[in-house]
Amino acid sequence: MAEVRPTSPLEVQEAVRLHPRLRPKGAGTKPALSAPREGEVVLDLSGLRGLLQYEPEEFVFTAYAGTPVKEVEEALRAHGQYLPFHPPLAGRGATLGGTVAAGLSGPMRERFGGLRDFLLGVRFVDGEGRLVRGGGQVVKNAAGFPFHRLMVGSLGAFGIMVELSFKVFPYPRATRTLRVALGNLAGALAALERLRGLPLDLLALDLIPPATLEIRLGGFPESLEGRLKRLRELLGREGEALLEDEAHWEGVRDLSFLEGSPIWVKVPSTPARIPALEGLPLGPRRYLSGGELLYAGVDPEGLRALRGAGLPHLVLKGAEEALFPPPPPAFFGKVKAALDPRGRLPLG
Amino acid sequence: MGFLEELKALFPPGRVLTREAALAPYESDALTAYRRRPLAVVLPERKKEVVEAVRLCHRHGVPFVARGSGTSLSGGSLPVEGGIVLALNRMNRILRLDPRAKIAVVEPGVVNLEVSRQAAPYGLYYAPDPSSQPISTLGGNVAFNSGGAHCLKYGMTAGHVLGLEVVTPTGEVVRLGGESLEGVGPDLAGFFVGTEGLLGVALEITLRLLPRPEAYHTLLAAYGSLEAAGNAVSQVIRSGLLPGAMEIMDRLAIEAAEAAVGAGYPQAEVLLIVELEGPKEEVEEEAKLLAQVIEESGALEVRIAQSEAERQAIWKGRKAAFSAVGRLSPDYIVQDGVVPRSRLGEALKEIGRLSQEYGLRVANVFHAGDGNLHPLVLYDGKKPGELERAEELAGEILRLCVRLGGSLTGEHGIGVEKKAYMPEMFAPEDLLAMERVKEALDPRGLANRGKVLPEGVVDPRLEGAHG
Ligand SMILES: Cc1cc2nc3c(=O)[nH]c(=O)nc-3n(C[C@H](O)[C@H](O)[C@H](O)COP(=O)(O)OP(=O)(O)OC[C@H]3O[C@@H](n4cnc5c(N)ncnc54)[C@H](O)[C@@H]3O)c2cc1C
């Protein structure tokens, strides 16, 4: 299989102009998205890496798109900061570009929002090989068309990202996790909905079906005990408190609970949709962010069931057809035609 | 039948305005220096009416401008010569408010504050809070990706819009995004937000709601200089705190606010407002740290709101600052540039110098937490040449922001006002990409024609390169 490995934006531009069909790849942690189809040349972006700018006091960094999330997070951590949307698969090598293109957020998205809330700017090479900038490098900006937001979940459709700017936040000084079993799905859902509506500032609020909630708190060590106590009172259960919870949540965000499943999917959800989802033949799974985001492991039958039920989803691993449903032609198709008129890039 | 006759046939009597006196209120938005008479103003009450009007415009090649409350400060809702205005204020129904899903589905003419008002009984609110929130509409907020005092922590409008129903300039109705916080495929709803009405008209908007913070801690500190207040902001950030809002007002702005609403602010050169919010245990701890930081920052006077009424009084002055400045001067231009936070001091010093050089007063009110400046350039439009001088000064400030690594606009949009400055911030290829997207969705250039994209961007050499 043909593969190009550019190490500069200019080389990305050259590659795009040279090859009629390309498939961008970061680290390949979402193979369903990055594996080349017939006739495609792989554009491996792992050589375009490195932090370009990071000013802790500005809450902003800019890095090449092929930079591993982990590398960025180490730099942030040295200044007590983090990417609050908690990009998944960081431990497996996921890159910034792959994370944005796949549109993925992890368990801690509950507190401040997802990827779309933290991406500030992009430089990308469009389907004609032109280098285009959208957004900026400051935490607030409303100038021009927001091409950076167009990249979220784009799967490379509009261009190859070469550089990305993100907003970051201070990392909580301490964290605690409460794990509570609630008997049955109905009970767990009721508790979930209750917690969602309260101003508890939870870092993470996950449902592991049928009936377990995992709730993560972050803040001052002095305040956490009181908040944990309040949480227990609200739920009317003691549960189990994890004081050293870091490793646990790193496992969650690397989707280790999907290990062994042939197909990995992301499904946008809502609490109201959970009972229906629970009626499908899905494998290991976890609802993140108060029930808004499901990562599930399925087999081909489960995937057919999702499709049959008309539920939108994205396959990260294990199937050819990654995105369901396809994006709306009236809007998507025109933007695609504007930025990739020759159809060199994936999708559409 | 001509265009106007067909248009009138689409609407019941009285909902297509064409008489001069009826058109006058729509001739400008809050940037009153620009005025233009539209061909007609239509007052749709239903989605279908908007869609039909847009389709008719498309068929006849007539430009259209969507308009909410006309509070744009950048000429975004300025009519186009020979075009129509779609005045959407009557589409002001909250179609669904689902407290369990924490969403609200609204028509574009719903006023921002109304959403929080309706959500309040459920302990929820809509976070983006432009100072114009009692009047501006969500359609306008979406088009401009509006902000407010709480952007650092909560982000701008784009993060709070989950889904949109849009009629494209060619009359196709599309749904972008959905009702979940998460989606799959390109974030087209996110992309639409901030495109200033150039890619279509929002017909229906799905918003995310948040639980109202349990506790607030609102602090007002007085400083002897803008520099000292700016340093205090940096110290707060360095301490690891993440306040909900950090706002600064200078002497001129304080005076104006006092005169207008009598907020009871201390007499000072500069005031800093810092507001913490969150669970009460957490806010208590944060407040201790904040007190220490502010003490070390050399504040001359510190007040802490002891009740909701005192908190509201502090905010009242800040929120009224823009309109209050109208009392100090017959006219003013509000600028909206952004600079990296660490360069605020430098930016303000240079603005002070420019103010002297141009002989025009500049009042400063700004979102210090995110480097979003709002210099208000005061002028008297009746004095010959003063508007031009004010515009030049405002332009210098914009260039300064870009030079310091910031942006032309934090929240007010480019509109007509700043489009000439777009090439300062964006390279020709960036602007060309915007042009191409606009052209693909709006081949006849009808939706908010003449806004955002500067004239003559398309470099013929670039055009040839891809042909
Ligand atoms: C006193 C004052 C204070 C302000 N403070 C702030 C602030 O703190 N933060 C901030 O961000 N802004 C602020 N603004 C600016 C302004 O209020 C916002 O930009 C607001 O979003 C405009 O809303 P509107 O309903 O008045 O829109 P309009 O002015 O009517 O229109 C604004 C733009 O939106 C487009 N538009 C309107 N409706 C639609 C639709 N349905 N679909 C597509 N496009 C549409 C218009 O074509 C136009 O380009 C302030 C303005 C004033 C006068």
Residue to mutate, B77, B166, B191, B370, ligand 1, most ligand atoms under 8 Å from C-beta: B77
Residues with CB under 6 A from ligand 1: B 29-30, 65-73, 76-77, 88, 108, 130-132, 136-137, 139-141, 143-144, 146-148, 196-197, 201-202, 322-323, 411-412, 448
Q: Would you say B111 and B92 are in contact if contact means Cβ atoms under 8 Å apart?
A: yes
CATH number of B1-212: 3.30.465.10
Sign of CA pseudo-dihedral A8, A114, B273, B325: positive
Chain A nearest C-alpha distance from B186 (Å)? 4
Token output for A209: 């079906």
CA distance B45 to B68: 13
**Where would I find the beta strands (DSSP E) of B22-93?**
40-42, 64-67, 84-87
**For strand B64-67 and strand B84-87, is the pairing parallel, antiparallel, or unpaired?**
parallel
Which residues are within 8 A (CB) of B228 and not within 5 positions of it... i.e. 6 or more apart? B270, B297, B298
Residue ranges, comma separated, of all CATH 3.30.70.2740 domains in chain B are: 329-441
Distance from C-alpha of B206 to C-alpha of B120, rounded to nearest angstrom: 17
Structure tokens at A156: 């490379």
Phi, psi for residue B174 in degrees, rounded to 5 = -130, 150
Q: Which helix (H) or strand (E) is B402 found in, with range?
A: helix B386-403
Closest CA to A175 of A254, A243, A128, A274: A243
Rounded Cα gap, residues A149 and B104, in angstroms: 22
pLDDT band at A280 (very low <50, low <70, confident <90, very high): very high
Query: Cβ atoms within 10 A of the Cβ of A39, count?
Result: 10
Q: Which of residues 235-264 of B touch A (CB under 8 A)?
A: 237-238, 240-242
Cis ω before B12 (30° cut-off from 0): no
A39 touches B: beta carbon within 8 Å: no
pLDDT at position B457 is 58
pLDDT on residue B458: 52
Q: Check CB contact under 8 Å for B188 and A117.
A: no
Nearest by CB to B213, from A128, A146, A199: name it: A199
Q: Could you tell me which residues are beta bridge partners of residue A242?
A: A177
Q: Where in the sequence of chain B do the CATH 3.30.70.2190 domains occur? A: 213-324
Q: Tokens 């109201």 sit at which residue?
A: A272
Residue showing tokens 């200033």? B196
Name the strand (E) or helix (H) holding B54.
helix B47-60
**pLDDT value for A71:** 98
pLDDT digits (tens, 9 = 90+) for A289-299: 999 999 999 99
Q: What is the average pLDDT across B413-417?
A: 96
Q: Tell me the two tokens of residue B42.
A: 């239509």
The sheet carrying B331-334 orders its strands as B301-304, B215-223, B270-278, B245-250, B362-367, B372-379, B331-334
Q: Tell me the β-bridge partners of B274.
A: B219, B246
pTM of the entire predicted model:
0.95
Q: Is the pLDDT of residue B467 over 70?
A: no
Nearest-CA residue of chain B relative to A56?
A: B238
Over residues A197-218, the mean pLDDT reads 98
In the numeric block, which tokens belong to residue A27? 């680290």
Structure tokens at A132: 């285009």
Distance (Å) from CA B337 to ligand 1 centroid? 16
CB neighbours (10 Å) of residue B306? 9
Using DSSP's 3-state secondary structure scheme, residue A132 falls into strand
The H-assigned helical ranges of B248-376 are 251-261, 280-296, 308-325, 344-358
pLDDT in tens, B254-297: 998 888 888 889 999 999 999 999 999 999 999 999 999 999 99
Q: How far, in Å, is the centroid of ligand 1 from the Cα of A112?
A: 25
What is the phi/psi pair of residue B316, to 5°? -60, -45
Residues of chain B with CATH 3.30.465.10: 1-212
- The structure tokens listed for B104 are 């609200």
> d(Cα B165, Cα A194) in Å, to the nearest integer?
30
- What's the fold here for domain B213-324? Alpha-Beta Plaits (3.30.70)
Structure-block tokens of residue B126: 């809509």
The average confidence (pLDDT) of chain A is: 96
DSSP label of A332: I
Element (DSSP H or E) covering residue B205? strand B201-208
Helix (H) or strand (E) holding B389: helix B386-403
Distance CA A247, CA A254 (A): 11
The fold of the B329-441 domain, in CATH, is Alpha-Beta Plaits (3.30.70)
- Write down all domains in chain A, each with its CATH number in brackets: 51-170 (3.30.465.10), 174-253 (3.30.70.2190), 256-323 (3.30.70)
Q: Which of A18-27, A186-195, B59-68 has the lowest mean pLDDT?
A: A18-27
Q: Is a pLDDT exceeding 50 seen at residue B449? A: yes
Q: Which of A208, A206, A230, A207 is nearest to A216 (CA)?
A: A206
Q: Express each pLDDT in B352-392 by its tens digit.
A: 999 999 999 999 999 999 999 999 999 999 999 999 999 99
- Residue A76 in tokens: 């942030």
pLDDT at A1: 62
The pLDDT tens digits for A144-157 are 999 999 999 999 99
A103 in contact with B, Cβ within 8 Å: yes
Residues with Cβ within 8 Å of residue B98, at least 6 apart in sequence = B104
